[in-house]
Structures are given as C-alpha cells and as structure tokens.
Amino acid sequence: MSHLYSPEIISQAKQLLSKMTLDEKLGQLSQVSSAGAHIPDDLANAIRHGRVSSVINEVDLATNNELQRLAVRETRLGIPLLIGRDVIHGFKTIFPIPLGQAATWSPEIVEKGARIAGEESATVGVNWTFAPMIDIARDPRWGRIAESLGEDPFLCAALCASMVKGFQTDDLSSPGAIASCVKHFAGYGASESGRDYNATNIPENELRNVYLPPFQQAAKAGVASFMTSFSDLNGVPATGNRWLLKQVLRDEWNYQGLVVSDWESIKELQVHGLSASQKESAYLAAKAGVDMEMASHCYIDNMADLIAENQLNQAEVDQMVLNVLHLKFALGLFENAFTDASVLPQLMNAQNLQVAKEAAQKSCVLLQNKKRHGNTPVLPINRGSTQRIAVIGPMAHDGYEQLGTWVFDGEEKHSVTCLSGLKALAGQSIAIEFESVLCTSRDSNTQHFDKALELTNNADVAILYLGEESILSGEAHCRANIDLPGAQLDLIEHLSQSNTPIVLVVLAGRPLTLQPILDKVDSILYAWHPGTMGGLAIAELLFGDVSPSGKLPVSFPRVVGQIPIYYAQKNSGRPPTEESFIFIDDVPVRAAQTSLGMAATHLDTHFSPLYPFGFGLSYANFEYHHVNISQHEIKLDSTFSVSLILENKSDVDAEEIVQLYIRDLVGSVTRPVRELKGFKRVLLKAKSSVNVMFEMHTDDLAFYDICNQLNVEIGDFLLGVGADSSVELSVPFSLVK
C-alpha cells in the first residue's frame, strides 16, 4: 500500500495536520449523505465549519462542484471533500452484476468495466466508489451474492485486483481515476441461514484460508480503502473488532489506507449489544481502527469527550485523520477539487457500450443444450431454417430488470432488451411473436398460459426469458426458497406439452434451483442480470454469432437443502461415493439403524451439485490432452510448470477457460478435496490445437496451518487441468525439502 503514499504526500499530510484544531480533525472523520441539486443549509454550514470530510450519494455535477467550493474556499484550511457513490457494476453504462462478471473469468474484461465505471462517475464529481465487494459467497439464499465474485478465494482475488486497478488506474490523481473501497471486511458472506446482517461464525483457520485472501490481495494491489462488515464475526461485530482491523489488517498486512464503516455500523454496535451507548460505540470503533464514520454521528458527537476523558489519545486520532488526508492528497484534490466533465470521455459512448456487450457475452453460461432433429443441438438457432420464434416471459422486454441490483444511476431507457436484441439480429426473414404471459417474475396469474402454448406450437423454437426481478436480490433481499418465483415453474410445465424446442434464458441475481425443469426445456442459458447491452449480447449468443464461454463462479445446488454447497469442501472421514449413496426410496422399510458403510450424504438428493463450480458448455467441442508437470518431485521455494494440449475438434471458433486444480493429500489441518490454482481464457480457432502452460511457484501451495501461520508443507499432491472443478486429479507430484 505504501506506493500510494509517497514521502511527499506523507509530509504534506503531516504539515496540514499540524495546523488543524481538534474540531477540524474530528470533522475529517465524518461522512454524511446528501442528494439533489439543492444543498441543505445545515450541510452547507457543517462544511463551512469543517465538520464534514465526505459526502455520499450526490451525483449532480454542479452540486458536487459547489460542495467542493464550500470546503475549499469557505473553510479555514480549504480541505476538499471525498465524494462517494456506490458504483458497483457501472455508472450510466451498466455491466453485468458482479457475480455475472465473475462468470467471465476474465481479469481483463472486469478491469475494463471498472475503468469505464470510474471514468463515467468521475464526470459528475465522484472520486470514491464502494466497490468491489469481495466477500466469499457460498449461500445463494443470501441476496448480496449478486454483488459478490463467487465462492472461490483464488478467482475472487484475481478479479478483485483487476477491478481495483480499473477504478484507480496506475495514478489516483489522473483524470477519471477514483478511489476503490473493498468490502465487507470480513466474513459477511457467511451470514447464518443466508440472512443479511446475521451473525457469522467462522473458525480462524477457515477465515484465513478462505475469506481473507481476497482482501489481502486487494491490500497488495494498493486499494485505497477498506469498508468494515455489518456483521458479528465470532462474537465481535467487525466494526468494533480490534483483532481483525488492528492485528490482521494493520499489523500483519501493514495496510496504510483508509478504513470506513458501513452505513451506520458504528451506531449499530449498540444494537448488537457490544456497547451501552453511542459514545461507547465511537470508542470501540476508534480503538479497533475505523477512520471514518459513514452516515451516523457517533464520532462527531462523542470523540472530543473521549479525548478529554483520556479514553482516546491525540496520537490515535491524528493517525485516523492522516489516513483520510493521505487519500485526499493522493487523489490530487488539493491541486484541483473541481470536476470539468469536458476533459473526460463521454458517458455511454460507443466504446463503453461495446465493452459492456462483450462483458455480458462472456458472462453468460450455457448450462444445457440438448440435441434434436438429426442429432443437432437446439442452440445456436439456425437463421436459415428458422421462420418463426416465440418469445415468452416477463424478463424478455424489461430494460429495468435486466440492469440488476445496486444500480442507482443507470436508466432503463438505454437498455437493449432481450426482445429488442433478438429482433435486431433476426432479420426480415424470421417472424418474432412476443407474449410476456406474466407481468413480473412473481406473478402467479396463469390466464395467458394457453396463449403462450399456442405461440410455442406455431413456432420453430420458443425462447423463454424467465428468472427473478432485480429487487429480489441485493442487500437485505434474501430468499429461503430459490426456485423460479411466481408461476414460472407452472409456465414451463405448461409449455413442455409442445413439441417445439424450448430455450430457457435465465436472468437472475443468484443461482436458482433448476432441477425441476431440466427435462422440460432443451437448452438453458444463464445470463444473470446482464446490464445495459444484455439483450444484444444474449441474441448474438443464441444465433451463434459468438459461442458461450462463461463458467460458473459458484456451484448450483440441486435443492436448497444442500446449501452451503461448494467445490472446495473437506473430504470428511466418510466421503460420499456413488457406491455409498442410498436414495430414500431404496432404504428398506423397518431397516435396522446402523452406521456401517454410511457416508456424508442426504437421503433425498444426490450429494453432487446440479452444476459444479467452473462449469459451462460451448458450441465448440474441446478436448484436453497430455497434461504434464515439469517435475514430480519439487523442492520448496522453487518454480515448476504444468502444460497441456487444448484441442478444438469442432467447426466453431470459441473461447475455453482452462482451469487448474490441485489437492493437498495430507496437511497439519485437513485440506479441501480440490483448490483452484490457475486459469486461462484461451481463444481457439476451429479444428486447431494449442499448448497451454501454467507457471507456478511452490508458494502458490501455501496455506494457514494448525498454528494459523502461512506455510508450505512438504508432502504429496494431485493435480488436474480441465473444463470445470469436476476434472479428474490424475497427475501426482510431491513437495520435498
């Protein structure tokens, strides 16, 4: 992190600090919310008196420039403001939800998306975004899984680093660069029962091996700020957790940036029962290492008293203020706090829209593609032989819902809907007939089902655009049942009477349980909430202009009772096997209870996920050959390589995401049955092959051991490379001294 803060910046901040009164210092720890063209008098006066350091949620350029004018020209020291905004997956040009972006497995495309989001938000004076969210998420009931980068720390860390670079560029003071804030530190994604804000209980070893690595990678990547979690972590809410914020973040990782609370999370320490008053909440958060308070007023109202009573000392407060000032200097705000939109790229320009379309294309995951009519897959749709397409479903022509959760500034009028995209690419020779059937995804009215069946019967192919509205995922929008809501399952059942091939396109903010409909549709394309250009991107995939290449960043459960289900599980003493699995109907009546031969399974569903992490089909046929490791005995602190031949046996140019997994067979603590350790997105021409190489270091195999120390242990491993996490691990190797 130190590279963000040059000696010059550190010196400038100290010089400014030496001139500040206590009230001015405390003002630098306060963030307030305001929106709209009119600045309230109380906010203007608070800024003039140096009691505001940051404003969140203002996106009017003139207003933000006026706020900066008040801070710079009507205060004693002229300290500019941090202008914050939740720019989660786009500003005006909306990209796929973060979970969809994770399905691209493309650090390059997510960096481009963050760069565009940063530039667009900077045109209205925003200089700080509260993204990316890098909570490991293994429970699709949790609404905020939509904002996450999935279940795996390796993939999450790689994408996170690219997003941070996209927002911040290589120079925070350059035009269009904005400060990034990773959240929510830490463990928020493990909220019990998938209910937002709920307690999280994560053993330290699991926390260090699974939930903390993306945050540590963000710190290494130079992220400007961290946001604390709302949740109670092992009995201590993160916002007041000294072990987490002081010992781990500051001392172990040497993080020097800004730490901000989540919305009123300092105030909520009292609601948690960790403090008896707002004053005590301020004390606990400050002692833990929270520099700035978002939205509530515990710091500004109580900090002076805490200092006067010697509960906090001046040096502690000074360091908090310096952490804020460092960022303001790094952003170049003291040189120019005002925004001139004319020097920045135009909002929603053609290049931005093209990148958004590419991101949506790469995010879509082909889950199923059955064959019909002479052993030909239903997808892609053949323009030459298709005369009529039935388009059905509430998500087909709704530009708002395809944008997804946490979209404050995108507008549905700019969306290319699924229906519009299909019509644009179908040409004049294909007739498209549309019936929404259901008003929303939650609609239970079945009165238009027969009309939809008639359209389906008269079509060469029917495309169903179903899923869940954007409001059904995101913060506080958790679901106990993750089936398709409303009457959508009944609609699929009704249409399955037809002999017409049915393509299901799912637009959703989370994995949904699709097992009930697998035999009722021919093809399934999972499109998440794809953003502004989603409709055109999906249409190009359906017509085969581009082959689907997305891969799942999360495992899809068969039923909700399997949750949490994820690929990197522990083996247990009785791992499930096909031989040990007994289905409930096969259990003999009045059978004697016994544990002999039993395994870690459910009686009423298979132990595997419906679709594993990393899964995704293509229109191409890829084969993997000759997976080799450069040496089978590898000395500690050395490099080695893994190579393979990837062959495209089809007539289709396509991209494949090659995935490398390892298994550590014996450790000082039990190890996952497999872990992702490398991936590459490879474009391969039809009827061609390529050599794919992974360069690795033994440090890549490190984990936190029985003493919670990062360590590389000698021993035996297995390795495999393939198309998803179910690949056979067939290549043995050993680490030796």
Give per-residue pLDDT as tens, 462-473.
999 999 999 999
pLDDT at position 591: 87
Q: Which residues of 548-563 are buried (b: 16+ CB within 10 A; e: fewer)?
A: bbbbbbbbbbbbbebb
Both tokens of residue 529?
A: 């909430």
For the cut 80, the answer to whether the pLDDT of residue 286 exceeds it is yes
- In the chain, the domains with their CATH numbers are 2-340 (3.20.20.300), 351-542 (3.40.50.1700), 571-602 (no CATH), 622-736 (2.60.40.10)
Choice among 262, 409, 522, 724 that is catalytic: 262
Which among 436, 438, 427 has a CA at the least distance from the CA of 388? 427
Say yes or no to pLDDT of 2 above 60: no
Give tens-digit pLDDT for 292-333.
999 999 999 999 999 999 999 999 999 999 999 999 999 999
Distance CA 526, CA 523 (A): 10
Instruction: Name the helix (H) or strand (E) containing 144.
Output: none
Give pLDDT tens digits for 553-602.
Answer: 999 999 999 999 999 999 999 999 998 888 999 889 998 888 777 899 99
Torsion from C-alpha of 15, 18, 20, 23, nearest 10 degrees: 130
pLDDT at position 386: 97
- Could you report the per-residue pLDDT of 258-268, keeping only the tens digit for each? 999 999 999 99
In the numeric block, the tokens 């999935």 are attached to 150
The residue-averaged pLDDT of 229-240 equals 98
- How far apart CA 666 and CA 652 sit, in angstroms, is 42
Closest residue by Cα to residue 307 from 295, 318, 323, 292: 318
Check residue 1 and give its pLDDT. 38
Longest distance between any two alpha carbons in the chain, whole Å: 84
- For range 644-661, the mean pLDDT: 99
- The answer to whether the peptide bond before residue 7 is cis (omega within 30 degrees of 0) is no
- Which tens digit of pLDDT belongs to each residue from 681-691? 999 999 999 99
Structure confidence by residue, pLDDT tens digits, 104-135: 999 999 999 999 999 999 999 999 999 999 99
The yes-or-no verdict on residue 379 having pLDDT over 60 is yes
pLDDT value at position 81? Answer: 99
Does the structure show a pLDDT above 90 at 378?
yes
- Give Cβ neighbours of residue 379 (< 8 Å, ≥ 6 apart): 366, 369, 503, 523, 525, 542, 544, 619
Give the tens place of pLDDT for each residue, 57-82: 999 999 999 999 999 999 999 999 99
Question: Nearest to residue 322, comparing CAs of 59, 29, 548, 576?
Answer: 29
- Tell whether the torsion through CA atoms of 710, 714, 716 and 722 is positive or negative: positive
Q: What is the pairing mode between strands 639-648 and 633-635?
A: unpaired
* Res. 4 pLDDT band, cuts 50 70 90: low
How buried is residue 512: exposed, middle or buried, by Cβ count under 10 Å (0-12/13-18/19+)? buried
What whole-number distance in Å separates Cα of residue 287 and Cα of residue 480?
Answer: 37
Mean pLDDT calculated for residue range 639-656: 99
- Dist CA 23 CA 33 (whole Å): 20
Compute the average pLDDT of residues 44-53. Answer: 98
Six-digit token string for 474: 């995101």
pLDDT for 3: 58
Cis upstream peptide for 297 (omega within 30°): no
Q: Tokens 């059905």, residue?
A: 392
Helix axes 488-495, 449-457, angle to 10 degrees: 40
Over residues 479-486, the mean pLDDT reads 98
Checking if the pLDDT of 385 tops 90, the result is yes
pLDDT at 597: 77
User: Which are the contacts of 429, defined by CB distance < 8 A and separation ≥ 6?
Assistant: 383, 387
Please determine, for residue 373, whether its predicted confidence score (pLDDT) is greater than 90.
no
Answer yes or no: 232 catalytic: no
d(CA 669, CA 205): 9
pLDDT tens-digit readout, 387-438? 999 999 999 999 999 999 999 999 999 999 999 999 999 989 999 999 999 9
pLDDT of residue 427: 87
Rounded to the nearest integer, the mean pLDDT of the chain is 97
